[in-house]
Structures are given as C-alpha cells and as structure tokens.
C-alpha cells in the first residue's frame, strides 16, 4: 500500500510540473534597434526596442501596425498606424500585446503568448525576431521571415510521463 501511494504521489507531481523550467521567451535576447515582427490573421505589426534598461526595468518601443494584411510599414501609408511608447515594461500597440523583460542593458527578452509544449492554448500571435534595423527594408509577408507561435523546445529533455 505504501509503495502504491508513493507511486501515485510521484505521478501527480510529475504531471503538475509538466511546464516547470519552460519559458515562453524567444531563445536569445533582442538587442536595441532590431525589428520584431508579429502577425495574427490579417493583422501585421512590427516593433523596435530601444533604451532597454535594468534599473528601472523599462524600454522604449517604436511600433507599427496594420490590419489589411499588407507587409510594408513605411509611412505615410494611411493603413499604417505608428507610435512610440516610452519607459514601458510591456510592448503594447493596436492589436498586439507582447511581454518583455530585461536581460541586460541594451538587450531584452520578448515572449511568445504560449509555452513551447502548451498545445492546448491558442496562440495570440506569431512572432519573428529579425536582425534587420531599417523598417523601410521590411516586408512582413516576405517568406524569408519565419514566424513561430511558440519557442522551440528540446523534446528529448522533457520529463517522460
């Protein structure tokens, strides 16, 4: 009886901790000035983090958004909304909210809306972190940009059921 209880208790702990040690963060910190693309349905967005600081943990965000499935973010196209948020702790602009946290001055983590193994939750957006720094060179619909719903995961390192 005692062995059965220990096995049952261990099984419960393993199941409850399925997501322990996982992060929804993109795999490497995003440096100041790099463009991050997001999309969901016909919505497209881009943002650029600048002035990422540890104390206080804030960033400035230049953002671009459109709802017509177009891929360019070059103003003065009337279908493009643009703006800047200063000293924020979360990236938020029309149609998108992306969690952010500091890694070190000048670099921060951006987060997918779901964990890597969370296949039951619908992602709120797909994301593509680029090394591009010029918004005029971005076409969010170009197939060279690989969008993902969640971070990658090393499946072989996950606990076995």
pLDDT value at position 76? 86
Query: pLDDT tens digits, residue range 31-54?
Result: 999 999 999 999 999 999 999 999
CA distance 5 to 3: 5
Q: What is the arithmetic mean of pLDDT over 3-19?
A: 41
Does the residue 85 lie in any domain?
Answer: yes
Q: Chain-wide mean pLDDT for the chain?
A: 86
Does the residue 159 lie in any domain?
Answer: no
* Closest among 39, 6, 57, 34 to 112, alpha carbons compared: 39
Whole-number percent of the chain with pLDDT over 90: 71
Containing structural domain, residue 78: 22-151
Q: Which DSSP state fits 81?
A: E
Q: What is the arithmetic mean of pLDDT over 71-93?
A: 95
pTM, rounded to two decimals: 0.83
Query: DSSP states of 48-70 as a string?
Result: EEEEEETTTTEEEEEEEEESSS-
CA distance 89 to 95: 17
Does the residue 9 lie in any domain?
Answer: no
Does the residue 48 lie in any domain?
Answer: yes
Angstrom CA distances, 98 to 10, 69, 124, 139, stand at 35, 19, 9, 20
Quote the number of domains for the chain.
1
Does the residue 43 lie in any domain?
Answer: yes
Does the residue 2 lie in any domain?
Answer: no
Which residues make beta-bridge pairs with 97?
92
């Amino acid at each position: 009886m005692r062995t059965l209880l220990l096995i049952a208790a261990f099984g419960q702990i393993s199941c409850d901790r399925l997501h322990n040690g996982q992060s929804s963060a993109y795999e490497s910190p995003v440096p100041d000035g790099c463009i991050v693309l997001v999309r969901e349905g016909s919505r497209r967005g881009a943002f650029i983090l600048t002035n990422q600081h540890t104390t206080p943990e804030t960033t400035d965000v230049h953002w671009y958004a459109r709802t017509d499935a177009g891929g360019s973010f070059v103003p003065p196209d009337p279908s493009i909304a643009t703006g800047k948020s200063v000293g924020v702790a979360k990236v938020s602009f029309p149609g998108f909210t992306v969690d952010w946290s500091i890694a070190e001055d000048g670099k921060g983590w951006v987060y997918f809306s779901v964990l890597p193994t969370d296949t039951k939750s619908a992602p709120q957006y797909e994301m593509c972190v680029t090394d591009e720094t010029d918004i005029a060179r971005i076409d969010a619909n170009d197939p060279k940009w690989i969008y993902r719903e969640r971070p990658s995961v090393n499946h072989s390192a996950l606990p076995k059921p």
